[in-house]
């Protein structure tokens, strides 16, 4: 991969070039989501900054995150890139958006990694456009898509399990935890939302990015959501993972929420669940990093719908380690699978009675240097490929020895709120 200031003096890669990427500095593009067409588009937004992309240059359907890492480094070796941006921010240049399934052994869908044709990005005041293709693209693109349409007349139906059936599954998990099969298992449920007309994913992403600006709002291949949990971000060798585990619903009354937050921070059940999750992340990162910092105690992350116990683990990644390699090591974390991993994953496949597809899998992007951000696909929905009026929503909860099925169902409902609100209630 070659980043060059000008077109003259381009250095060719060792293998014949397959793709050409050209990045230019642009004026502030305004609201990034306004650039997106309705279909075949990508987004990764936090606090208004991030990247949007559209068009498809190449798509890979890897079996595992590790396969994707290998494919990506091979592809990067066959790219000629030029950039106007000196000291370019991570993501500004040749890059791909991706979304991975939770459990490749228990799903009918595939993971994807797609290099878009056009990317528009903004990061800390620097704005760029990258165009990618089988030759350098010099044409100017200023799409003026029609505004996003709100969904109409949305109705909901149970997915794999009804509420009471899911509570029974949680009760069974609690019994099996008592019998020593696992320490923790994360059980999720799905809900089918159906609108009167095709759902415009741009509307959902727009609402999520506005309401959940502290989360990472994403759109990749029909998967739309706003996650508060960062599996791993890597930038200039610094790796960060935000672990969440331990949740309470907000009451709508800020005084009461404050009391709830301090109760959450002292709750032994939640702290124990949190410790499992942090320890699993630290263990998985250790072989690829040095100088790891694991804070002693979590903080409380406040979102509009829930409060979470959160810990940010940071470390220096070994040279040559990509964000995808780290994501491969971290997925599935205890926050979305359980501990120990293998029996927890088997219990999920047995008890949930649904296909998680890409829910709870890594979602994000990777650039040519191996920097990238891979969130955990939570608070999300997957648009139906064959019927664009339909979207499947997912939410789950960590189940430990003291879990109460009724409270867990209410917690799952609270985690569905972002997507339900985006769909109009
Ligand atoms: C599984 C989900 O959330 C996860 C479970 C949490 C918990 O049990 O406290 C908290 C955050 C996430 O790690 C979800 O949102 O679907």
Q: What is the pLDDT of residues 233-283, one digit of tens each?
A: 999 999 999 999 889 899 888 899 889 888 888 888 788 888 888 998 999
Mean of the pLDDT values across residues 74-84? 94
Q: What are phi and psi of 225, to 5 degrees?
A: -175, 180
Q: Separation of 287 CA from ligand 1 center, angstroms? A: 26
Q: Separation of 48 CA from ligand 1 center, angstroms? A: 24
Q: Nearest CA to 304 among 225, 415, 394?
A: 415
Q: What's residue 393's pLDDT? A: 98
Give the model's confidence band at 14: pLDDT under 50 very low, under 70 low, under 90 confident, else very high: low
In angstroms, the CA 189 to CA 412 distance is 8
More confident residue, 9 or 340: 340
Task: Name residues contacting ligand 1 (CB within 6 A).
Answer: 186, 188, 229, 244-247, 308, 335-336, 378-379, 395-398, 415
Q: What's residue 269's pLDDT? A: 79
Query: Model pTM?
Result: 0.95
Closest ligand 1 atom to residue 186 Cα is 1
Choose which residue among 188, 264, 299, 308 to substitute to test ligand 1 binding: the one with the highest number of ligand atoms within 8 A of its C-beta.
Answer: 308
Q: Separation of 291 CA from ligand 1 center, angstroms? A: 28
Q: Separation of 334 CA from ligand 1 center, angstroms? A: 10
In angstroms, the CA 277 to CA 331 distance is 12
In angstroms, the CA 285 to CA 292 distance is 9
Q: What's residue 407's pLDDT? A: 95
Q: Nearest CA to 126 among 164, 83, 162, 97?
A: 83
Closest ligand 1 atom to residue 397 Cα is 8
DSSP 106: G
DSSP strand E in 228-298: where? 230-235, 238-249, 289-293
Mean of the pLDDT values across residues 318-331? 97
Give the model's confidence band at 2: pLDDT under 50 very low, under 70 low, under 90 confident, else very high: very low
Determine what percent of the chain is predicted with pLDDT higher than 70.
96
| Whether the predicted pLDDT of 139 surpasses 50 | yes
Choose which residue among 227, 396, 411, 418 to substitute to test ligand 1 binding: the one with the highest number of ligand atoms within 8 A of its C-beta.
Answer: 396
Q: What is the pLDDT of residues 98-136, one digit of tens each?
A: 999 999 999 999 999 999 999 999 999 999 999 999 999
Q: What's residue 283's pLDDT? A: 94
Residues labelled catalytic:
184, 229
| Whether the predicted pLDDT of 321 surpasses 90 | yes
Mean of the pLDDT values across residues 398-406? 94
Q: Nearest CA to 18 among 66, 93, 74?
A: 74
Mean of the pLDDT values across residues 150-159? 96
Q: What's residue 3's pLDDT? A: 44
Q: Separation of 301 CA from ligand 1 center, angstroms? A: 13
Closest ligand 1 atom to residue 359 Cα is 16
In angstroms, the CA 75 to CA 370 distance is 12
Q: What CATH superfamily classification does 3-422 receive?
A: Anthranilate synthase (3.60.120.10)
Q: What's residue 243's pLDDT? A: 96
Choose which residue among 335, 337, 399 to substitute to test ligand 1 binding: the one with the highest number of ligand atoms within 8 A of its C-beta.
Answer: 335
Q: Are 211 and 218 in contact (CB under 8 A)?
A: no
Supply the residue whose CA is at minimum distance from atom 1 of ligand 1: 396
- For residue 340, say if its preceding peptide bond is cis, omega within 30 degrees of 0: yes
In angstroms, the CA 140 to CA 348 distance is 49
In angstroms, the CA 83 to CA 20 distance is 11
Dihedral of CA 127/131/137/140: which sign? negative
Of 40-44, 88-92, 238-242, 269-273, where does mean pLDDT reach its minimum?
Answer: 269-273
- Per the rule left: phi > 0, alpha: psi between -120 and 50, beta: everything else, 268 is alpha
Mean of the pLDDT values across residues 187-205? 97
Q: Where are the chain's structural domains?
A: 3-422
Mean of the pLDDT values across residues 10-21? 76
Q: Separation of 56 CA from ligand 1 center, angstroms? A: 32
| Whether the predicted pLDDT of 6 surpasses 50 | no
In angstroms, the CA 233 to CA 227 distance is 13
DSSP 194-209: E-SS---HHHHHHHHH
Crossing angle of helices 405-422 and 163-178, rounded to 10°: 130
Mean of the pLDDT values across residues 413-418? 97
| Whether the predicted pLDDT of 12 surpasses 90 | no
CA torsion angle 418 90 13 43 (round to 10): 20
| Whether the predicted pLDDT of 94 surpasses 70 | yes
| Whether the predicted pLDDT of 1 surpasses 50 | no
In angstroms, the CA 255 to CA 102 distance is 38
| Whether the predicted pLDDT of 385 surpasses 70 | yes
Determine what percent of the chain is predicted with pLDDT higher than 90.
83
Q: What's residue 33's pLDDT? A: 94
- Across the chain, mean pLDDT equals 93
């Amino acid at each position: 991969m070659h980043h060059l200031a000008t077109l003259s003096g381009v250095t060719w890669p060792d293998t014949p070039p397959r793709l050409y990427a050209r990045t230019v500095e642009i004026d502030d593009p305004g609201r990034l989501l306004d650039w997106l067409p309705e279909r075949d588009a990508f987004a990764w937004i936090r606090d208004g900054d991030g990247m949007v992309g559209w068009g498809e240059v190449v798509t890979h359907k890897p079996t595992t995150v590790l396969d994707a890492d290998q494919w990506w480094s091979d592809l990067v070796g066959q790219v000629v890139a030029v950039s106007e941006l000196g000291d370019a921010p991570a993501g500004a240049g040749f890059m791909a958006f991706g979304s991975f399934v939770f459990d490749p052994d228990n799903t009918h869908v595939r993971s994807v990694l797609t290099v878009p044709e056009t990317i528009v990005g903004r990061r800390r005041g620097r704005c760029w456009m990258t165009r990618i293709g089988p030759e350098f693209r010099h044409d100017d693109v200023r799409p003026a898509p029609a505004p996003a349409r709100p969904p109409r007349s949305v109705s909901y139906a149970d997915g794999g399990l009804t509420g009471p059936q899911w509570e029974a599954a949680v009760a069974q998990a609690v019994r099996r935890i008592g019998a020593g099969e696992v320490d923790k298992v994360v059980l999720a449920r799905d809900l089918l939302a159906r609108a009167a007309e095709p759902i415009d994913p741009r509307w959902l992403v727009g609402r999520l990015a506005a309401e959940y600006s502290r989360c990472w709002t994403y759109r990749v291949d029909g998967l739309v959501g706003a996650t508060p949990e960062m599996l791993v971000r890597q930038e200039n060798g610094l790796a960060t993972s935000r672990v969440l585990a331990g949740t309470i619903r907000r009451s709508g009354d800020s005084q009461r929420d404050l009391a709830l937050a301090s109760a959450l921070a002292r709750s032994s059940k939640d702290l124990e669940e949190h410790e499992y999750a942090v320890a699993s992340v630290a263990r998985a990162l250790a072989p690829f990093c040095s100088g790891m910092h694991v804070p002693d105690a979590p903080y409380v992350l406040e979102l509009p719908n829930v409060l979470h116990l959160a810990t940010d683990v940071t470390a220096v990644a070994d040279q040559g380690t990509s964000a995808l390699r780290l994501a491969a090591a971290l997925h599935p974390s205890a926050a979305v699978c359980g501990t120990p991993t293998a029996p927890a994953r088997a219990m999920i496949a047995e008890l949930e009675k649904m296909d998680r597809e890409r829910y709870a899998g890594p979602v994000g992007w990777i650039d040519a240097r191996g920097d990238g951000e891979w969130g955990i696909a939570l608070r999300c929905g997957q648009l139906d490929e064959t019927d664009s009026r339909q979207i499947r929503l997912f939410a789950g909860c960590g189940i430990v020895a003291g879990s109460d099925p009724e409270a867990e169902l209410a917690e799952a409902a609270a985690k569905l709120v972002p997507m339900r609100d985006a769909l109009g209630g």
